Structure 1
Amino acid sequence: MARLVQFDRLGGPEVLTLRDVEVGAPGAGEVRIRVDAIGLNRAEIMYRQGGYFYQPVFPSTLGYEAAGVIEAVGEGVDGFAEGDLVAVVPAFLQSEYGTYGDHVVIPASAVVPRPVDVDPVQAAAVWMAYITAYGPLAESGQVRPGDYVLITAASSSVGLAAIQVARHVGAIPIATTRGAGKKQALLDAGAAHVVVTDDEDLPARVKEITGGEGVRLAFDPIAGPGVETIAQAITPGGSLVVYGALDPRPTPLPNAGSFPALTSSTYTLFEITTNPERLRRAVAFVGAGLASGSFTPVVDRTFDLADIAEAHRYMEANGQVGKIVVTVTHEDGASS
């Protein structure tokens, strides 16, 4: 038996229930993992509430990230064996698989090796954040050394990873935060400049920082009407990349008659994690950054699996800087 977090209806954190469930052996193309740590993501809150891009199938589990040890390998799985240290990357539907549990079955295609010098908490905080940042800031080739990049909602785990990735490729990260309370933390995390949007005019401040040029790329998880303000901070020929939908209102396409010529696009890490060759390159890039010390996941706080509802409440309060991680203690007393 395993302990799995499930929910039977849409709603707040109170719908999450920790249950004893028979997990069973992995099927073809799957592995079973003993989970030591779970990384939480905003996508899981949206999924639980019914606001994600697909709907739960009840009783539903949830979760995209985890770190642990392989317990069993299904038919046709190559490259993994019992006892391997691994991490899970988002490459599946939460209506079919999930990581919120102490033992979970996951597609082998969503599993990557975990370096022995990266502990489970750190490993659970890596892949969603750094692969999301890797696509537009590194793989796309849109950002060159010396370019300014704008990272909005920068205190999230993806925002902090984007600051580090931008630095790694030689770009100059400008971070935004709504209130002044997180400004110093973002500077400490490597942002070259921080714009406090409650107090400062974003386009005007960016133009001041960049000597009137604007940024080469803006990386935004919020969407909604606010993209029109962001567009005014982009240099002619630059790019606006929207990778989330925290604002549920319609997102306008910036009008070419009102803003500098720019490329506007949406992006999700699934474009990389569901493509084996692109995922291989992403893992190599992130792994090299971890090994060199360029990338250090920022963990804001950890919770126990039994406190999963409280962990979700904490994330919904929007006070964290970095990743929220849930740790798992097993019956033998071992934990991350």
Structure 2
Amino acid sequence: MKAAQFSRFGGPEVLETVDLPTPEPQAGEVLIRVHAAGINFFEVLMRADGYAVTPQLPMVPGVEAAGVVEAVGQGVDGALIGTRIAAPLFASTRPFGGYAEYVTIDAGLGLPLPAPLSSEEATALMVQGLTAFHLLRQSPPANRTVLVPGAAGGVGSLLVQLAKRQGARRVIGLAGGKAKLDVAMSHGADIAIDRHSGDWEAETRDAAQGGLDTIYDTVGGAMTGDFLDILAPGGELVFAALGRYALGVARLEAMIGRNQSLKGFALLPLLSPGVLRASLSELFDLAASGDIVVTTGGRFPLDQAGEAHRLLEEHRSIGKVVLIP
């Protein structure tokens, strides 16, 4: 089978297409012909050896895929063959390997796709959809004014929609450039603000109309301190970014004086097998019924995996970026 892997750390060019043996489904597993594999920013960091954990090389990235069951292992009902299924590899004992034509996964982790839902949409609702879904469970938006940075991205575009559905008083989207602002507005943001504007902090304060109650920080870095500066007294900043947070002592002392709260967020510890299936089922049903819209911002063949990474690395992507093996 064809797969995209990297054998050394570096830029997008280190991703190369290789021939690997097609995996055999073991007892309790299914073999899936991949129709779409999701790309996530932490995979970009891994490729450059900039993630919290250094992966073993060579590595075939990809923690989420969707496609059709082609074979089953011992003990699995053969009626599953031909079923369209989502493969949340990140929850399995082999959490990578999605950038390939085939993957195997425990049959109990695979989730059938509703008929209207495409494989591409399903990939967007795994890591990124679950992140948005559980961020709002940890810090509910009802009756609060919330800020969603990266409001046109894979997580942000879903956060905007879900926060509106869950009764946020006002949803402010923060994004870079007109195209991304338009996406945020189309998904229901009450206002979208360009982060490239020199006055974005003042514009956000004005848009909050009485105070910014919650900020879902999926960006991190230097912007975290700016977010604290515009957070209302008594407000909550939720840390959900992959990068480091630049917070000095002075800002932390100011936060204490303003009764502000900091909350950490990590997805995987929240996902027991039952919670994973229930959460994905709810997200799949919402998307299949049209109650939320999945934005796919880029489709690449396996041999262009490096270009897909470059799109994310340069922050040019809108919505979910996928590989189509």
Task: Give the whole-Å Cα distance in 1 for the aligned partners of 2:196 and 2:96.
Answer: 39
Question: Map of 1:162-177 to 2, 5 A cutoff?
Answer: 162-171=159-168, 172-177=170-175
Match of 1:27 in 2: 26
How far residue 31 of structure 1 moved from its aligned partner, in angstroms, is: 2.6
SS in 1 for 2:282: helix
Give the TM-score normalised by the residue count of structure 1: 0.86
Match of 2:120 in 1: 121
How far residue 14 of structure 1 moved from its aligned partner, in angstroms, is: 1.4
- Of the three residues 255, 265, 268, the one matched with 1:267 is 265
Match of 1:192 in 2: 190
Match of 2:308 in 1: 311
Inter-CA distance 5–207: structure 2 relative to 1 (3 Å threshold): same
- Of the three residues 232, 235, 240, the one matched with 2:237 is 240
Inter-CA distance 235–35: structure 2 relative to 1 (3 Å threshold): same
Inter-CA distance 85–262: structure 2 relative to 1 (3 Å threshold): same
Count residues in correspondence.
322
Match of 1:156 in 2: 153
Task: Give the whole-Å Cα distance in 2 for the aligned partners of 1:204 and 1:78.
Answer: 59
Task: Give the whole-Å Cα distance in 2 for the aligned partners of 1:14 and 1:85.
Answer: 32
Instruction: State the Cα deviation string for residues 23-60 of structure 1 (Å, max 9, x = none).
Output: 33223453321101112111111111111221121121
Inter-CA distance 126–207: structure 2 relative to 1 (3 Å threshold): same
Higher relative contact order (CA 8 A, sep 6+): 2
1:112 aligns with 2:83: no
Q: Which moved more, 1:308-317 or 1:5-14?
A: 308-317
How far residue 265 of structure 1 moved from its aligned partner, in angstroms, is: 2.1
In the alignment, is the contact (CA less than 8 A) between 2:163 and 2:171 conserved in 1? Answer: yes
Question: Map of 1:18-167 to 2, 5 A cutoff?
Answer: 18-75=17-74, 81-89=80-88, 91-92=90-91, 97-108=96-107, 110-137=109-136, 139-140=137-138, 142-144=140-142, 146-167=143-164
Q: State the identity as a percent.
A: 30
List runs of 5+ in structure 1 lacking aligned partners.
Answer: 329-336
Match of 1:12 in 2: 11
1:211 aligns with 2:216: no
1:292 aligns with 2:284: no
CA RMSD of aligned residues (A): 2.6
In the alignment, is the contact (CA less than 8 A) between 2:152 and 2:181 conserved in 1? Answer: no
In the alignment, is the contact (CA less than 8 A) between 1:242 and 1:266 conserved in 2? Answer: yes
How far residue 249 of structure 1 moved from its aligned partner, in angstroms, is: 5.9
Match of 2:278 in 1: 281
Misfit runs of 4+, over 6 Å: none
How far residue 236 of structure 1 moved from its aligned partner, in angstroms, is: 3.3
Give the TM-score normalised by the residue count of structure 2: 0.88
More helix by proportion, 1 or 2?
2
In the alignment, is the contact (CA less than 8 A) between 1:60 and 1:95 conserved in 2? Answer: no
How far residue 181 of structure 1 moved from its aligned partner, in angstroms, is: 5.0
Instruction: State the Cα deviation string for residues 101-122 of structure 1 (Å, max 9, x = none).
Output: 0011234454322112112222
